[in-house]
Structure 1
Amino acid sequence: MKTAAILVARLIFAGVFAMAAGFKFADMNATAEYIASIGFPAPLLFAWLAAFFEIALVIAFLTGLFFSEASLLATAYVLFLAFAFHGPAHWTGNQTEFGFFVDHFTFIAGLLFAAVHGPGSAMVLRRGGRGLVGNHA
């Protein structure tokens, strides 16, 4: 049961970041416009960087390679997104933004838990070229 839960959590993390990257790749200019709307510099550059960063996170979550490090980086990224795009400056007259802001913290909690506990023992690509390791329990 524990192994299945960990694998499902990894798939959820990977799925969320894959969808985010997919939306960026589908309309990079719209993503850049959204980034520009908060006054961030070089929005098209950061849109591309964000998309490729999210793909790297997907790979880490699916393979387990650098899993804890990726979880911590994802935590910092999601925290930045929460404040930059949904933080207190966006709450005036729009309670939905507060809800989006709070939702980021539930995701952050999961990422921090994952960072501490690691990818589990099943379906993990180990550093040093030992290959994909599976737990048959």
Structure 2
Amino acid sequence: MSKTFAVLLARLIFGAVFAMAMSFKFMDMQSTASYIAAAGFPFPLFLAWVAAFFELALTLAFLTGAFFSEASFLAGIYVVFLAFAFHGPSHWSGNQAEFGFFIDHFTLLAGLLFAAVHGPGDTLVVRTRSPLLAR
């Protein structure tokens, strides 16, 4: 029972993290686009919309368990990209807190990789065939 609770809580936390990120984007898409533009990326408004819908898909996957392992793996790639793009070494000299933000992404990556390998658990899961968990 404690394992089930821990897995469901972890899924809820993952879902909440990406739901919050998604909601901030949808509430102020222009600010998100400005942040993306400041990092030097082209087509910032388009990328902001793509990020928001990607985070919506991740949220749904974590909360339902559907395509959970795939979503966990893709989320891991995404957070490493975000770490380097928005909090990487070029940001550290101007603000030491950026190094902490950078490292935090790797803590999240560790949890996401663990989740990708172990799957969504057996409770409250929309079943899909996952090639990542094939044995």
Report the TM-score when normalising by structure 1: 0.92
- Secondary structure of the residue aligned to 2:30 is helix
Q: Which residue of 2 aligns with 1:54?
A: 55
Equivalent AA in structure 1 for residue 80 of structure 2: L
Distance in 2, Cα, partners of 1:26 & 1:63? 24
Structure 1 residue 104, shift from structure 2 partner: 0.5
Structure 1 residue 93, shift from structure 2 partner: 2.9
Distance in 1, Cα, partners of 2:38 & 2:65? 35
Identity level (%): 70
Q: Which has the higher strand share?
A: 1
Q: Which residue of 2 aligns with 1:132?
A: none
Q: Which residue of 1 aligns with 2:132?
A: none
What stretches of structure 1 move > 6 A for 4+ residues in a row? none
Q: Which residue of 2 aligns with 1:77?
A: 78
Q: Does the alignment pair 1:91 with 2:117?
A: no
Query: What CA RMSD, in Å, does the superposition of the two structures yield over aligned residues?
Result: 0.8
Question: For 1:21-46, what per-residue CA distance to the aligned partner results, in whole angstroms no more than 9, with x for missing partners?
Answer: 00000100000000000100100000
Question: For 1:70-115, what per-residue CA distance to the aligned partner results, in whole angstroms no more than 9, with x for missing partners?
Answer: 0000000000000000000100131100000001110000000000
Distance in 2, Cα, partners of 1:85 & 1:118? 29
Equivalent AA in structure 2 for residue 46 of structure 1: L
Q: Which residue of 1 aligns with 2:13?
A: 12
Distance in 2, Cα, partners of 1:80 & 1:48? 17
Consecutive unaligned residues of structure 1, counting only runs of 5 or more, are: 129-137
Give matches, 1:119-134, under 5 Å.
119-127=120-128
Distance in 2, Cα, partners of 1:94 & 1:34? 16
Consecutive unaligned residues of structure 2, counting only runs of 5 or more, are: 130-135
- Secondary structure of the residue aligned to 1:70 is helix
- Secondary structure of the residue aligned to 1:31 is helix
Distance in 2, Cα, partners of 1:65 & 1:122? 12
Equivalent AA in structure 1 for residue 68 of structure 2: F
- Count of matched residue positions in the alignment of Structure 1 and Structure 2: 128
Equivalent AA in structure 1 for residue 37 of structure 2: A
